[in-house]
């Protein structure tokens, strides 16, 4: 009976040994706290060959006994434990090359003032390669507290490298933040457009933000043309010295601003009673000489000839001094029917 058991046991061991090659090897997934899922492939490791073309690893290369419940940190691996026993830059790639095991993705930061701002891990890893340059010296893996641009300028967060020496300076805002073309509704005249692309060719973002204009449009008060003429908003630069004056050609900012060459006035019966030539007047005067000192933009109230003789409407200039008097030859404005 005893001999029968020994033979049976020997036969069982032989059966197991004969099926060792059929052992199913599974990929193992590790869920790390802040660095995503890491997959370990048994198949890929056992398929590695050395210079002689023979298997570089066997199960015994890693497994020495029962299961270990110890959790290994990246610091442990850097010291040669766990994966770091081979992944030391000599036998296999260095454990510092995190993206070879940890999947990295682009991160989008929702910046209130400037909108979505992307950070590309792949673009940075092409130049740095070593994740430890940023993690965990500058950032924890996972979510980090918000850092202001002022703090970055002092060397925190992105500013640690983006200082104008190691990488472009953080004051080159448009390299990270999208600078949209802005359109302002300005009825009754056509909309006004502001081109970030054009202005950032000559100026840096700090020339305007936040001293003159706050990055968040909602925090800016509407500024009138009269206030701009006094040096506010666009008028800080558009003063006729640094850049063309806001008192000048309105069509430079108000796109689609096409003045009628001649404006025709009719009476209640539809009869033409007068003409005003924009083409002639704008060759001599600026738009703001009349608007809005004398006329509002858009349709102005009708004025009688008597009111003009007293200095209203056309009579503000046509007084016999600045221009011919409205009391003069009527046919200069009124065509004979």
pTM of the model: 0.56
What's the rounded Cα separation, in Å, for the pair 265 and 313? 14
In angstroms, the CA 156 to CA 62 distance is: 41
Give the span between the Cα atoms of 156 and 76, in whole angstroms: 27
Which residues, other chains included, contact 47 with Cβ-Cβ below 8 Å and sequence gap of 6+?
none
Residues with Cβ within 8 Å of 278's Cβ and at least 6 positions away in sequence, in order, are: 259, 260, 261, 262, 263
Question: Rounded to 10 degrees, what is the CA torsion of 298, 302, 307, 308?
Answer: 60
Nearest 5°: CA angle at 327, between 323 and 328? 70
Which tokens go with 260?
């009628």
Domains and CATH numbers, the chain: 24-61+75-103 (3.90.10.10), 107-175 (3.90.10.10), 182-252 (3.90.10.10), 262-332 (3.90.10.10)
Q: DSSP of 231-289, one letter per residue?
A: T-GGGGT-SSSSS--TTS-GGGTBTT----SEEEEE-TTS-EEEEEEHHHHTTTS-GGG
CB atoms within 10 A of CB 213: 16
Give dist(CA 92, CA 40) in Å, integer: 14
How far lies 126's CA from each of 122, 162, 225, in Å?
A: 6, 16, 49
Q: Would you state the pLDDT for residue 326?
A: 92
Residue 22: per-residue pLDDT? 56
**Residues whose CB is less than 8 angstroms from the CB of residue 274 and which lie 6 or more positions away in sequence, other chains included:** 264, 265, 333, 334
Predicted local distance difference test score (pLDDT) of residue 256: 74
Rounded Cα gap, residues 329 and 318, in angstroms: 12
Write down the H helix ranges in 93-234: 121-128, 149-153, 196-199, 225-229
Residue 89 DSSP symbol: S
With H, G, I as helix, E, B as strand and everything else as coil, classify residue 135: strand
- Across the strands, what pairs with 139? 135
What is the rounded distance in angstroms from the CA atom of residue 327 to the CA atom of residue 336? Answer: 17
Contact 245, 239 (CB under 8 A): yes
In whole angstroms, what is the distance from residue 107 CA to residue 105 CA? 6
- Contact assessment for residue 196 and residue 181, using Cβ atoms and an 8 Å cutoff: yes
Q: Report how far apart, in Å, the C-alpha atoms of 65 and of each of 27, 55, 60, 68, 166 are.
A: 19, 21, 9, 9, 48
Give, for all 337 residues of the chain, the pLDDT tens digit. Answer: 444 333 333 333 333 334 445 567 889 998 887 788 899 999 999 998 888 888 888 888 888 777 777 888 888 999 999 999 999 999 899 988 888 898 888 889 988 878 889 999 988 988 887 788 898 889 988 788 999 888 999 999 999 999 999 999 988 888 898 888 889 998 888 899 999 888 988 888 888 888 888 877 777 888 988 899 999 999 999 999 999 998 877 888 988 777 777 888 887 777 777 888 888 888 888 887 888 788 887 777 888 899 999 999 999 999 999 999 999 888 888 876 6
């Amino acid at each position: 009976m005893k001999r029968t058991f020994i033979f049976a046991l020997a036969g069982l061991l032989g059966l197991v040994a004969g099926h060792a090659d059929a052992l199913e090897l599974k990929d193992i997934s590790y869920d790390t706290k802040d660095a995503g899922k890491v997959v370990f492939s048994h198949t890929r490791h056992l398929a590695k060959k050395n210079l002689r073309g023979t298997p570089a690893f066997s199960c015994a290369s890693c497994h020495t006994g029962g299961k270990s419940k110890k959790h290994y940190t990246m610091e442990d691996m850097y010291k040669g434990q766990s994966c770091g026993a081979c992944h030391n830059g000599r036998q296999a790639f260095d454990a510092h090359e995190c993206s070879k095991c940890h999947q990295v993705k682009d991160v989008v930061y929702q910046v209130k003032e400037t909108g979505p701002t992307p950070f590309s891990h792949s673009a940075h890893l092409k130049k740095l390669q070593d994740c430890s340059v940023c993690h965990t010296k500058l950032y924890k893996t996972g979510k980090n507290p918000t850092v202001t641009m002022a703090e970055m300028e002092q060397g925190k967060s992105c500013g640690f490298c983006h200082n104008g020496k190691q990488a472009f300076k953080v004051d080159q805002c448009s390299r990270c933040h999208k600078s949209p073309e802005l359109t302002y509704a300005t009825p009754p005249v056509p909309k006004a457009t502001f081109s970030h692309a054009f202005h950032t060719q000559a100026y840096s973002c700090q020339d305007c933000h936040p001293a003159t204009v706050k990055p968040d449009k909602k925090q800016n008060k509407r500024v009138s043309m009269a206030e701009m003429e006094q040096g506010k908003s666009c008028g800080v630069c558009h003063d006729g010295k640094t850049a063309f004056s806001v008192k000048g050609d309105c069509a430079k900012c108000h796109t689609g601003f096409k003045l009628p060459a001649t404006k025709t006035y009719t009476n209640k019966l539809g009869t033409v009673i007068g003409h005003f030539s924009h083409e002639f007047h704008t060759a001599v005067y600026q738009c703001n000489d009349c608007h809005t000192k004398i006329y509002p933009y858009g349709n102005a109230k009708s004025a009688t000839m008597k009111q003009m003789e007293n200095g209203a409407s056309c009579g503000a200039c046509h007084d016999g001094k600045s221009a011919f008097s409205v009391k003069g030859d009527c046919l200069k404005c009124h065509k004979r029917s």
